[in-house]
Amino acid sequence: MNVLEATRLGVIGMFLSSAALADGHLNEMGPEELLPLAQAEGKVTVYSFTSRIGKVEAAFEEAYPDIDLQGFDISSTEQIARLQAESQAGVTNADVVYISDTPVVLTELLETGIIAPFVPPRIADRVPSEYQSPLLAQRLSTKVLMYNEEANPDGAPVTNLWQLTTGDWRGRVVMVDPLQRGDYLDLMTEIVLRSDAMAAAYEDQFGKAIELGDAANAGEKFIMDLFANDVILVGSTDDVNVAVGAKGQESPPVGFTSYSDRRDNEEEGWALQVANSVKPAPGIIFPAVLALAAEPNNPAAARLVIDFLMGDESETGGAGLAPFYVAGDYVTRTDIPPHPDAVSLNDFTAWRIAPHETAKIRSEIGDLILTLQ
């Protein structure tokens, strides 16, 4: 291919891509149709809330050598701040947004028109509708109670969340400060939303009905008691993982972290395991969503990336899904078999968050936690 030809192809590509945009056809295109347009664009920028974007980048560029994927690992909370600032500045840096924190994402990014939904037509019939709207969920992620299975070979040392408020676990429960990471605030909020279950669990544990005292409900009572019991707050989930999971500890703490971080056990020398049987639930399960920037610089390549991240037609989704096909992450595609090493989604007892419900009282719970610190 000589220079002239390449230029001509590029011009055609640009023409096609703008024509497609004008017709709104991009959303209906499969990867084969997107590819030439994406190749003409040549690059694509992805904001991702997980460091696994590094593996995606390598796999994507191997599959599509002509397209340079620039992946950036940015926490959900920061992505929200960044995307808002960029929107205010009239700048679009990201083409694709891969993010959790849906209670905030829906109100602050989707409803304000900063990001837009996209569901690749190729897999649309294989993702349940609840995971297609308002944004496409690629997988479900977790913040759940984990323990050290090396120190507790017979199973979780905790069977009821209320045990965490007793003397045995004083100063031995670790989590990230809910005022610094949104998904932990979501966890606290869910505990309040599930106050009835918390009240029942209290009775199971202590054999008497809960006395609320200053608390408005059983969930708030739990949070207040947990903080009164010297819960340890750290800065990141990896700090929780190390604290709970590091091998060779005599009486390791327990902590709330991502179930899927168990995948790093071997590499990091951890012994993390989920306390799935804890009552009333070990924590929360929430969607990780994929979206387009409202006006992406590289509209075809952006759609191609989302298509790629939803996995190919091989049994476990191929290279695009491989980083996420791990125990503890639940891929939303119905035709991908569950990971064999994980508790199946049906048996997994964590609460599903309802983003709109969470959004309603989230800041109130933030304020409650603020008074406890």
Binding-site ranges for other proteins (CB under 8 A): 45, 47, 51-52, 54-55, 58, 70, 72-74, 77-78, 80-82, 85-86, 88-91, 93-94, 104, 108, 171-172, 174, 177, 179-182, 185, 232-236, 238-239, 241-246, 249, 252-253, 267-269, 363, 366-367, 370-373
Q: Which is nearer to other proteins, 253 or 280 (CB)?
A: 253
> Helical H runs in 64-180?
76-89, 102-104
Find the shortest distance in angstroms from Cβ 233 to other proteins.
Answer: 6
Q: Which is nearer to other proteins, 54 or 128 (CB)?
A: 54
Q: Which is nearer to other proteins, 135 or 174 (CB)?
A: 174
The strand pairing partners of 287, in sequence order, are 140
Find the shortest distance in angstroms from Cβ 312 to other proteins.
Answer: 19
Contacts 24+ apart (CB under 8 A), 313-316: none
Q: 3-class SS at 38?
A: helix
Find the shortest distance in angstroms from Cβ 22 to other proteins.
Answer: 26
Output the DSSP codes for 124-143.
GGGS-GGGTSSSEEEEEEEE
Find the shortest distance in angstroms from Cβ 195 to other proteins.
Answer: 21
State how far the alpha carbon of 326 is from the alpha carbons of 118, 135, 175, 342, in Å.
24, 22, 23, 8
User: What's CA 258's distance to the chain center, in Å?
Assistant: 9
Q: Which is nearer to other proteins, 174 or 210 (CB)?
A: 174
Query: Residue 331 in contact with residue 323, Cβ under 8 Å?
Result: no
Find the shortest distance in angstroms from Cβ 182 to other proteins.
Answer: 6
Find the shortest distance in angstroms from Cβ 363 to other proteins.
Answer: 7
Find the shortest distance in angstroms from Cβ 71 to other proteins.
Answer: 9
Element (H, E) at 272: strand 272-274
Which of 210, 222, 255 has the alpha carbon at shortest distance from 237?
255
Element (H, E) at 159: none
Q: Which is nearer to other proteins, 71 or 120 (CB)?
A: 71
Six-digit token string for 90: 């009239």
Find the shortest distance in angstroms from Cβ 8 to other proteins.
Answer: 29
Q: Which is nearer to other proteins, 22 or 89 (CB)?
A: 89
Alpha-carbon gap, residue 48 to 339, rounded angstroms:
23
Six-digit token string for 232: 């340890």
Q: Which is nearer to other proteins, 131 or 150 (CB)?
A: 150
- Whether cis (ω within 30° of 0) applies to the bond prior to 65 is no
Find all residues with CB under 8 Å of 314, minimum gap 6, and list them.
none
Six-digit token string for 63: 């599959």
Q: Which is nearer to other proteins, 109 or 198 (CB)?
A: 109
